[in-house]
Amino acid sequence: MELTTVRELYKNQDKYIGQTISVGGWVRSIRDSKSFGFIVLHDGTYFETLQIVYHDKMSNFAEISKLNVGAAIIIKGELVATPDAKQPFEIQAAQIEIEGASTAEYPLQKKRHTLEYLRTISHLRPRTNTFQAVFRVRSLIAYAIHQYFQDRDFVYVHTPLITGSDAEGAGEMFQVTTLDLKDVPKTKEGQIDFTQDFFNKPTNLTVSGQLNGETYAMAFRNIYTFGPTFRAENSNTTRHAAEFWMIEPEIAFADLNDDMMLAEGMLKYIINYVLEHAPEEMNFFNQFVDKGLIERLTHVASSDFGHVTYTEAIEILEKNNDNFEYKVSWGTDLQTEHERYLTEEVFKKPVFVTDYPKDIKAFYMKMNEDNKTVAAMDLLVPGIGEIIGGSQREDDFDKLVNRMKEMKLNEEDYGFYLDLRKYGSTRHAGFGLGFERCVMYLTGMSNIRDVIPFPRTVNNCDL
């Protein structure tokens, strides 16, 4: 079918004004008087709508006037400039074909629906303004991330989803199995008989692709992952989902400074990309979801990010302990209130906090010379707190083995990982960006359920 999109009409209106064209889309609203009527049409390709004018000269005028919100129609007519109206043009319909009717019970009427209500109709909510904006921006952010890394010749690596190991050593994981749950086979000793399971051993859904990613960085030098990760955490908050996407770049012959430059460059790239490619959507968020959003993002994109060590940060925060719910001292992990204070009040821009105490960080992070801190970094941004966490990796075989012993990790489970330190080890670093958190940050949406098409959370796995 040769249909012109609404996006195309807005982008190249000079080409189409005065022309007869065909457009397909869905009725957002309709009002009629005796001899003519107006339809506000949305075709899904562009945030803005298109006004259709129809007349009683059309043979199916009565039928059209009775259309319900949500109906799908195809209009043929002339695109006419409307310099005095709020919309730049409209279609004077010569013919309207009804593709698919709707009903008076259509769950999306022309009124304000709450986000909570819309969550109950996740198959229909993308038809609303808010979710049109959210999910187009989500798509653009994903593409901007690919573009950023591919332009720099990074190799995109698909790390596995089903895994026999627990990368972080401590995740709450979903089990994956083909065993009959009603009658799980057991060995003579009463253990689960995993020889009958699909993979011949217990398997889980991954919590991170990092360790696998490192093996590829030691081959391609610069790689990134972008895929789903899972947490079976019983947290019913606005920031936790059981299934979410992560981006995990890993760079070899690189240290923590290179890592921070990569993260800073990426975040600025994404912001600029979205502001440029989705101005209508971003204006919508700025106006209706999070006033000040565009100013904040523009500021971030043009700031040189700050740098502070964890030890310095604690000194700063301790002076303000009276105002914190959780008091800080050296050795404690930072809470969102501390992170936001640092980035919003102290630095007034994004800030990297580096060199955390080893005891609050993962086993694979590179030990600093003080033997107390590790070469880790968290990027804190105004309005949200931590958005990126990364580190230089321990590339010394002996130090890594020692650290694993201290943390009671089983060396045998990490043979492949230790091999990377045995055969041509080199300094390398990486970070993780939670994709949904990034989408929330760029749209101002405050509940993770509203930035995932079909969110999975505790007790919720609809559609």
Q: Which of residues 39-68 bind a second copy (CB under 8 A)?
A: 43-45
List C-alpha distances in Å: 197 to 173, 184, 190, 417.
Answer: 18, 10, 16, 26
Q: How far is the CB of 339 from a second copy (least distance, A)?
A: 27
**Secondary structure (H, E, C), 127-149:** HCHHHHHHHHHHHHHHHHHHHHH
With respect to a second copy, which residue has the nearer C-beta, 236 or 323?
Answer: 236
Please tell me whether residue 456 binds a second copy under the rule CB under 8 A: yes
How many Cβ atoms sit within 10 Å of the Cβ of residue 385? Answer: 23
Tell me if 159 contacts a second copy by CB under 8 A. yes
Rule CB under 8 A: choose which of 198, 288, 326, 330 binds a second copy.
198
Site for a second copy in 78-107 (CB under 8 A): 99-103, 106-107
CA distances for 28 relative to 327, 389, 404, angstroms = 52, 42, 59
Find the Cα–Cα–Cα–Cα dihedral 196, 197, 201, 204, rounded to 10°.
-160
Q: Which residue has the tokens 């030990």?
A: 367
Out of 70, 350, 389, 432, point to the residue binding a second copy (CB under 8 A).
70
Site for a second copy in 15-34 (CB under 8 A): 24-27
The answer to whether 90 and 50 are in contact (CB under 8 A) is yes
Does position 269 interact with a second copy (CB under 8 A)? The reply is no
Q: Is 163 in the site for a second copy (CB under 8 A)?
A: yes
Look at residues 92, 86, 104, 73 and name the one whose alpha carbon lies nearest to residue 16.
92
User: By C-beta, is 203 or 368 nearer to a second copy?
Assistant: 203
User: Closest approach of Cβ 456 to a second copy, in Å?
Assistant: 5
Closer CB to a second copy, 218 or 334, in the complex: 218
What's the closest the beta carbon of residue 195 comes to a second copy, in angstroms? 9
- The span of 82-90, 147-155, 297-305, 372-380 binding a second copy (CB under 8 A) equals 147-155
Written as six digits, the tokens of 76 are 């043929």
Of 7 and 307, which has the nearer Cβ to a second copy? 7
Distances 271 to 159, 193, 250, 379 between C-alpha atoms, Å: 26, 50, 21, 15
Segment 215 to 254, residues that bind a second copy, using CB under 8 A? 215-216, 218-222, 227-228, 230, 232, 234, 242-243, 245, 252-254
